[in-house]
Structure 1
Amino acid sequence: MSRYFIKSLVAGLALLTLGGAQAQGLATPPLDSVPSWSNTYNFAQLGHAADNLLLGIHDSEQIEFSLRRDRIASDARLRLEFTPSPALLPVLSHLRVYLNDVLVSVLPIEKEQLGRKTFRDVALDPLLITDFNRVRLEFVGHYTDVCEDPANNALWVNIGRRSEIELHEQALSLKNDLAYFPLPFFDSRGQDKPSLSMVFAASPTLGEQRAAGVLASYFGSKAGWRGMRFPVLFDRLPEAGIGATPAIVFATNDRRPPFLADLEQFPKVAAPVLQMIDNPQAPHSKVLLVLGRDDEDLLVAARALALGGDLLRGSRVTVDKVQQLQPRQPYDAPNWIRTDRAVRFAELIGYPGQLQASGLRPAPISVDLNLPPDLFVWRSQGVPLQINYRYTPSVVTDESRLNINLNDQFISSLPLPSGDSSKLQKLRLAVLSTDPANPDEKVWVPALKIGERNTLRFDFNFASTLGSAQRDHCQTTLPASNQAVIDEASTIDLSGYHHFIAMPDLKAFARSGFPFTRMADLSQTLVMVPVQGSAVQISTLLETLAAISARSGVPALGLQLSADWSMATRTDADLLVLGGVGAGVGEIADTNLMLDQLHDWLLEPSSQALNGSSARAGELNDIRRQPAHRVEVSASAQAPIAAFVGLKSPFHEQRSIVALLANTDADYQLLRDTLADGGKMDAVAGSVALLRSSGVESSQVGEQYFVGHLPWWLLLWFQLSEHPVLLAMTVVLIVLLIAFALWRSLSWVARRRLTGQQ
């Protein structure tokens, strides 16, 4: 009885620290059945990839971690790895540890620790842990007891990136209320990769898969860089256990999983309905029922979740109507920078205070810039950048400067004079061209990279005389609290650029979801799927759609699915193919060439693979000129293999096909693992990317084509740039024509003058 009382008291205190969790919809479950987890995160996993060096003038560092709202921390611990400078004074030098701005421990640096790697455990009070937390480490260092210089290079302590935060978590039951949606199905505060089970009756229809695809893309747009996994189950819910995930069930009046067969508890519906219930097999896990009379009702309910989440409340909601008032426009994805006008930095920030920094040595200010992958920047003069910034002026003129970096490459250094503390600076950022007209072009200056995540960083470096430590003379000063701000009115202007890209380009698909994200809601995309999809095939489809929406930031509300290839011939849309291409596509030459090359790759020893190098690309292009009497070799293997293939659509001009080729469930699992691995997706490029357990091999096979539009004069100049001899002949011809026209004009004028004199 006393043990149960103590557990109840601990749970009650934890609930109080959440600011009245029950008032926010959290209920206390029976403690004997409460699932618990023990998770450990090192500093590298929490965003600190390298060791942190604390100095006398940069004496603090903070590590952020989060906790899902449907969990509480029953215990927490910091395992700190650090190495102090051997020049420090023992005991007088120490580390302060704060949790959410509350001092939780002081670690004196002992004499035997100087210059040696040290490990210390610090208990973190679980009552202080909320959904978002900060551990701040402050270094107080001394190398002498009189006339100290805070900038002395002997004042340092190195915080190892293998330091860890261990959390013991317990589950909290959330009330069945859709007002908390997307909780608990997705929580941005979670540290692990989110997972959400999708449940269908056996052999789900295309309409059910379409509704699930809309919801998967919605969660993908919320998850962003984290990614999401969507395990698919038929006729059953996730079972109880530590790994039990929340689930979404798609069911119509005529097609229901067995656990919804009780019509008294789950009656047939007369409209699209959303209902949240407890998972009967895992009481701390929730199930969202997406119900409808038919597949169209399921789609309406899914769109309501993606669009009208703020209007939902209660455990059961009937959807009356869903209507998108304004259709989306090309290139309006929220995760891409606008290209039709100048963009203010206020539109690019992710959180308040992102453009501010303070301290004697302020942290860098960073802004992310994501450019559309088909931006035509050939021979560009650069992107105009107008920066407004303010800072704390120095009393005297010194060497304080603002350093500007792009993608970790230095651009410029601007002085910070002591007089005026507000400045306007205009720059032009170079843009890295990936056009095939200049395959050997090298950009030696820092440049924006098309179709990739670019980081613009501003480092304010303030020079200051902190003090003097001379024999028989000691003078110290209190350092000023420096402030620096990049004004939100600063702008970057990408207007005036055209959209034109050489295809196929699987790199654009892997990094930006192009060409499908040209319309962020996939309203000009047709997804071709197998007629009868297995669970792992449908998981691959959902995770592919989630990955595309993560790059655009918009759910795929315009998603179209089909298993009929005749529909592809009638629909003016880009094709995303899952499984295998149709007969009409397989007959074109480039497709056969790609599939033949995949067959050859299977027979090639892995030691001979060149990983998509220029030599390999040349070898593959030479295949088109090989003689007809090639030797055919057949082989069998059990290991999984899959591929990404890009090619031009044979049905419509300016349209492309990206095919995710696989046969067995193991092949589809390989596709899923690749989509979830950022490193492997970075290796996807060209027109063919072969996926094996050893990695990804990419190459360019077949003819290239162009998607987009250019003015006729710019298109002519671009095409002629690949043929310098033809360009020279054209210039000579134009000069001769102009000379001939001038000669004829002057002759006509001379004849008129002579006729007038007569």
Structure 2
Amino acid sequence: MSRYLNFTLLSLLSLAIGCAQAQPLKELSPKEQAAKAQAAVVAPAAVSAVTSTVPSWDVSRNFQQLGRVADSLLLGTHNTDQFEFTMRRDRIASDAKLQLEYTPSPALLPTLSHLRVYLNDVLMSVIPIDKEQLGKKTVRQVDLDPRLISDFNRVRLEFVGHYTDICEEPSNSALWVNISRTSLISLKEQALLVKNDLAWFPMPFYDSRGYDEPVLNMVFAASPTQGEQRAAGILASYFGSQAAWRGTKFPVLFDQLPAATASAPVTASIVFATNNHRPAFLADLTQFPAVEAPVVQMIDNPVDRYSKVLLVLGRDEADLAAAAQALALGGDLFRGDRVVIDKVQQIQPRQPYDAPNWMRTDRAVRFSELIKYPEQLRASGLQPLPISLDINLPPDLFVWRNQGIPLQTKYRYTPPAYNDGSRLNISLNNQFITSLPLLVNSNDRLEELRLAVLSSESANVNEKLSVPALKIGDRNNLKFNFSFATTASSSQRDRCQTSLPVDIQAVIDDQSTIDMSGYHHYIAMPDLAAFARSGFPYSRMADLSETVVLLPPQPSAVQLSTYLEAVAGISARSGLPAMNLTLSNNWEDASKHDADLLILGSFAPDLRDNRDMSLLLDRSRDWLLKANNQGPGSAQQKSAGNPAASRVEVSAKGPIAAIVGLQSPFHEQRSIIALLATEDADFQLLRETLNDSGKMDAVAGSVVLIRSSGVQSQMVGDHYYVGSLPWWLMLWFKLSEHPILLAILAVSGVLLTAFLTWRVLHWAARRRLAYEE
């Protein structure tokens, strides 16, 4: 019933959008208003005096962009696959198509073999496999009903294959069709008028159902103050933590709102203003009166009724910070178009390494805390897909010479008819760990095991094993692959025997645990790869309470954009907004904080003479220290250091930027990472790198040069270490770098022990002889 109701609701919405240009919008009945709010999470806004065309987008995404890195192979025993796609809730689809690219097996029987295409469990089309298609790549376009398109959608493909008219085996290798990952889903999307209601925040400024990189315009009065910059950083980090892998862009404007363009017909803007420092378009105190407390308000863009503006208002800079923190923390309480913030209070301070995106390392963690969607730990079918679990860890976790990581796994499955070799294969980061038998008599209980791959023998259910921790990194993927060897049918000459395949189900219980407690935190720095992949060392405190960002005294718009995107990138990796970020434009004040420094622009004069500084970018000249033994992969070297062998100075035109890591000269356990640039074009290179996951994966070592040709990393200078270890572990770790010294100490220890033993025995013998006399 609800499905047909959605049909009707979406039809009404599509009709209303189509008539928007022809006549004014009518007042809807209460019933229609409630239905539209439920279906599209929008309501009609007041129509401005200026009529405008309805913004629309032609959106196409292939299966690879939807998460499939390889082609999908449908078989007789695995004949179903599905692909999910989403659409922003402030848009509606007016047209939808599926362009399917597939290659059928040349052994199939034409016409009897076909593909069924479903959209949200409704049959859209049946594609017969003709004789001319056998063994050849074929492209077919299927019309999808746009009335079925909602915010979350599923396209399901079912393969019905036949290679003979009698006595078929579902597992026969002739039954297959290859679905190409270049298949496309195309949508014609139209904008919907959104009501000014903060109950839907962060919509329409950010929608997790969108695939595109969010672009939020940050608007200030001319010469924004440091407090305004800090409030913008807090809110930018919130959107960064929400956007995660998508990245975020924050163009900065002064005293004006952005204009809609052909590439961006709908814009989202956030304005920061105090009573005494406002952009020019908020100067009308009648329409926008002075506030008496922190205020957040959503309004229509004065020149575009489809665009929204979020006003962050306050009496002073402290009010702006409180309003930004309230948006990041208390958005669930918001409703209406205007909210007054009464109080924002931090009840309990954050603890190190408690970032939401990192697995906890102080106790055993249940799988239920690591899953991203409810059905993640389930699999079904004769050949079920692997169950995958992502495990993100702090990059400074010290796992040197450990005895393994306890992994307690409980699972259940449909038992096979016979003990025929069905197995559960477990792998970590695509490296095989162990294989466990799936037995007939194990369907009535949960089986429990502890993985310990240091054993040389295959595991069984009762063995205690451990994950090889030396293969653990900051980003890990644990896979459980249920492999069933069930016999589905059997055929012989003059005898045909078939059976209906069992609907096999397999589940990894969400109460299974992995335990990383007991490990210490210790890492060799500088390590820009840790910064690029995990935001370390700033993300050690997820709220950036031990981070100071040093900006120029009067930053330009592109410098502010770089700062906002850098902070948003750190929060995207930690999963928490930078609620306690500290901002400074004075080197002396910043150096007094016991904190890690993030420098934007150029090095302070006092730091240019630091012996660890390996690069300087200047408007007139640039110099770089080159390390010994530079070559392919040198940035990944694990040696104690890579001392500089030469210095190169150049004067050239053209954009260049850099990322440099070094030890803080004020606190030995603190680090400095500098995002170096001089001209606006240089900062644009920095922004492109910070928002490009491929380029960030190339960031490593202590010096990263960014040019139009790409990213180049290298390690220059000595390492320093951040963290702590017990004295005995520290001793062994230091001695491991000097094997000759370790051998000498071992021999000396043996000789000393032998000498002391001889002296004790000699003393005992003399005492015994003296007693006998």
When normalised by structure 1's length, the TM-score is: 0.91
Which residue among 13, 17, 27 is the counterpart of 2:44? 27
User: Is the contact between residue 550 and residue 599 of structure 2 (CA under 8 Å) also seen in structure 1?
Assistant: yes
Say whether residues 1:130 and 2:150 are aligned partners. yes
Query: What is the letter of the counterpart of residue 500 of structure 1?
Result: Y
Pair 1:97-2:104 in alignment: no
- CA–CA separation in structure 2 for the residues paired with 1:165 and 1:123: 10
Residues 1:262 and 1:18: Cα distance change in structure 2 (over 3 Å): closer
TM-align CA RMSD = 2.8
Inter-partner Cα distance in structure 2 for 1:11 and 1:132: 23
Is residue 272 from structure 1 mapped to residue 294 from structure 2 by the alignment? yes
After superposition, the Cα gap between the structure-2 partners of 1:425 and 1:18, relative to the gap in structure 1 and judged at 3 Å, is: farther
Percent of residue pairs identical: 64
Matches within 5 A, 1:387-536: 387-421=409-443, 422-428=446-452, 451-536=473-558
**Shift of the alpha carbon at 1:702?**
0.8
Q: Structure 1 residues 83, 287: CA separation in 2 closer, same or farther (over 3 Å shift)?
A: same
Structure 1 counterpart SS, 2:607: helix
Counterpart position of 1:437: none
* Aligned equivalent of 1:52, options 55, 69, 72: 72
Query: How does 1:323-338 map onto structure 2 within 5 Å?
Result: 323-338=345-360
Alignment of 1:270-419 (within 5 A): 270-419=292-441
Deviation at 1:18, TM superposition (A): 11
State how 1:228-247 maps to structure 2 within 5 Å: 228-242=248-262, 243=264, 244-247=266-269
Pairing 1:8–2:15 present: yes
CA distance in 1, matches of 2:685, 2:593: 30
Is 1:689 aligned with 2:704?
yes
Mapped contact 1:507–1:686 kept (Cα < 8 A): yes
| Matches of 1:559 and 1:22, distance apart in 2 | 37
Paired with 1:294 and 1:134, the residues of 2 have a C-alpha distance of 48
Could you say which residue in structure 2 is the equivalent of 1:201?
Answer: 221
- Rounded to whole Å, the distance in 2 between the matches of 1:727 and 1:595 is 43
Give the deviation of 1:241 after TM superposition: 3.6
What is the Cα deviation at residue 84 of structure 1?
1.0
Structure-2 change in CA distance of 1:424 and 1:269 (3 Å): same
2:457 is aligned to: none
* CA deviation vs aligned residue, 1:649-706 (integer Å, no higher than 9, x gap): 0011200011111111111111111111111111100100111111111111011111
Which stretch shifts more, 740-749 or 271-280?
740-749
Give how far 1:403 is off: 1.3
Residue type matched to 1:27 in 2? P
CA-to-aligned-CA distance 1:371-395 (integer Å, 9 cap, x gap):
1100111112221111111110112
Q: Equivalent residue for 1:107?
A: 127
Give the counterpart of 2:667 among 652, 663, 683: 652
C-alpha distance 603-17 of structure 1, shift in aligned 2 (>3 A): farther
1:166 pairs with one of 177, 186, 190: 186
Alpha-carbon separation, structure 1, partners of 2:632 and 2:32: 54
Distance in 2 (alpha carbons) for counterparts of 1:470 and 1:19: 63
Aligned to 2:613, the other structure's residue is in SS state: helix
C-alpha separation between the residues in 2 aligned to 1:19 and 1:111?
A: 52
**1:82-112 CA distance string (max 9 Å, x none):** 1111111111111100000110111111111
Match of 2:25 in 1: none
Is 2:608 the partner of 1:586? Answer: yes
Task: Please name the residue that 1:723 is paired with.
Answer: 738
Q: Which amino acid aligns with 1:727?
A: L
CA 1:282/1:152 → structure 2, altered by over 3 Å: closer, same or farther?
A: same
May I ask how many residue pairs the two structures share in their alignment? 728
Shift of 1:633: 5.3
Please give the secondary structure, in 1, of the residue aligned with 2:311: strand
Q: 1:666 to 1:635 in 2, by over 3 A?
A: same
What is the SS of the residue equivalent to 2:718?
Answer: coil
Among 644, 653, 666, the residue aligned to 1:623:
644
1-structure distance, mates of 2:35, 2:175? 44
The one-letter code sitting in structure 2 at the alignment partner of 1:111 is K
Structure 2 vs 1, CA of residues 633 and 686 (structure 1 numbering), >3 Å: closer, same or farther?
Answer: closer
Show the counterpart of 1:80: 100
1:357-381 Cα offsets, whole Å, 9 max, x none, are: 1112212111001111001111122
After TM superposition, the structure 1 = structure 2 runs for residues 119-198 of structure 1, keeping only pairs within 5 Å, are 119-198=139-218
Cα offset for 1:648? 0.2
Q: Secondary structure at the match of 1:545?
A: helix
Whether the 8 Å contact between 1:176 and 1:314 is mirrored in structure 2 is yes
Q: Deviations over 1:38-63 (max 9, x none)?
A: 11111111111221111111111111
> Match of 1:651, SS?
coil
For 2:677, the aligned partner's letter is A
> Is 2:602 aligned against 1:613?
no
Contact 1:409 1:446 in 2 (8 A): no
Alignment partners' CA distance in 2, 1:19 and 1:61: 35
- Offset at 1:713? 1.2
**1:702 maps to which residue?**
717
Deviations 1:97-148 (A, max 9, x none): 0000110111111111111111111111010000000111111111111111
AA in 2 matched with 1:216: A
**SS of corresponding position for 2:147:** helix
Distance in 2 between residues matched to 1:220 and 1:452, nearest whole Å: 20
Per the TM alignment, residue 327 of structure 1 is displaced from its structure 2 partner at its CA by 0.6
Q: Which moved more, 1:743-752 or 1:190-199?
A: 743-752
CA distance in 2, matches of 1:303, 1:277: 20
Deviation at 1:728, TM superposition (A): 2.5
Q: Is the 8 A contact 2:211 2:246 kept in 1?
A: no
Q: Which runs of 5+ in 2 are unaligned?
A: 1-11, 21-27, 455-466
